[in-house]
Amino acid sequence: MIIKEAFEQFTVYKCDVASSFLYAHFDNPDLFMEGLSDYLLSESNLLNYANTLTPIEFTPTPAIYKKLYNTLGSFLNSELELLAFDDVSDEVCTALGEEYHFIDINGKTLVQKDKIGKIGEYALHLLLTGYYKVHCIIPKFRCTTDRNMSVFGIDALFFNPNQRTIYFGESKVCNSIENAITLVNRSFDDYEEQIAEEYKLVLSNDEVFQLSQEFRDAFQQHTEVCISFQDFIKAASIGKICVPAFLAHGNSDSATTPESFLYKMNTSLNRKQFFGLDTEYIFISLPIIDKAKMMDIIMQKVVKKNNDYRNAISTI
């Protein structure tokens, strides 16, 4: 049974663990893409991302414009990521080839990837905070010291203090939902290793990363002494984790409606138990109709807004 409800400018379709968020004017691609890009890049949403631990309202001051400028800067750089891959199936190779550009360096095949991934992580952040009402442990863009650096590992770290549940989010932005499902399933193949590394590098390193106060209040006595994630879940009596999988995707020949998006996610995305824990899943579809056009509109607006904010800082 599919349930339909309203959330801000979205109509949300829900079935089982899957939800599809259709922005307004989905039947008019031009209006839809303009509206969705404006929503994603609104000042309130950018400040949500920049100051998720201590939310602030937009006011036209130099300090706020600087914060907006710096946040948008995380989506801009002059370099591309190079991701090595090996030991993947033909299906995964096909999906990667359709989404990214292949290059060869010294006989090693690499996938060239631009800032699209960070836009996906950002959109996932907005939906987790706004719709699912869970709290960010640390925005992943803070895990770099250089905006040209890539942030590897888990795409989103969130916490539900009422249920003491940690969320380990995965995000993909693809031409089709089929490609997104293929690449999410590939990520899930080694997700235990990714979670274990995320614990070692981020969650147990509060002296390096400014983690949320409520996460520290709940678990700091354990993260200070537990070397591995396995030790941590035992010491902290963790019984459940949650894995949100976010799929921003264009339409395909076989999937153009929210009903088809829900069906594909519920039937094709893998569900595994990690570390022997009760593993809850949230599958999130964000249809964008056409990936290339949507990303082009977003990045053009990012550049314009970035210039506007820089100019506003100097003129106030």
Residue 242, CB-side half-sphere exposure with 13 Å CA sphere = 20
Q: Do 1 and 18 touch, CB atoms closer than 8 A? A: no
Question: How is residue 127 written in tokens?
Answer: 């939906």
pLDDT for 260 equals 95
What is the rounded CA–CA span in Å between residue 3 and residue 20? 11
Coil, strand or helix at 128: helix
- 303-315 b/e with 16+ CB inside 10 Å = b? eebbeebbebbee
* Cα(123)–Cα(140) distance, integer angstroms: 12
CB 292 within 8 A of CB 299: no
Under a CB-based contact definition with an 8 Å cutoff, are residues 248 and 289 in contact? Answer: no
* pLDDT value, residue 57: 85
CA 51 to chain centre: 16
What DSSP designation does 54 have?
S
Beta carbons of 200 and 193 less than 8 angstroms apart: no
Full pLDDT tens readout for the chain, 316 residues: 899 999 999 999 999 999 999 999 999 999 999 999 999 999 999 998 887 767 788 888 899 999 898 888 877 654 434 444 455 555 555 554 555 554 455 554 444 444 577 889 999 999 999 999 999 999 876 555 444 444 557 999 999 999 999 999 999 999 999 999 999 999 999 999 999 999 999 999 887 788 999 999 999 999 999 999 999 999 999 999 999 999 999 988 877 899 999 999 999 999 999 999 999 999 999 999 998 899 888 888 888 888 888 888 888 6
Determine the pLDDT at residue 136: 94
DSSP labels, 170-237? EEEEESSHHHHHHHHHHHHHTHHHHHHHHIIIIIT-TTTS---HHHHHHHHHHHTT--SHHHHHHHTT
User: 262-272, pLDDT tens digit by residue?
Assistant: 999 999 999 99
pLDDT digits (tens, 9 = 90+) for 229-272: 999 999 999 999 999 999 999 988 877 899 999 999 999 999 99
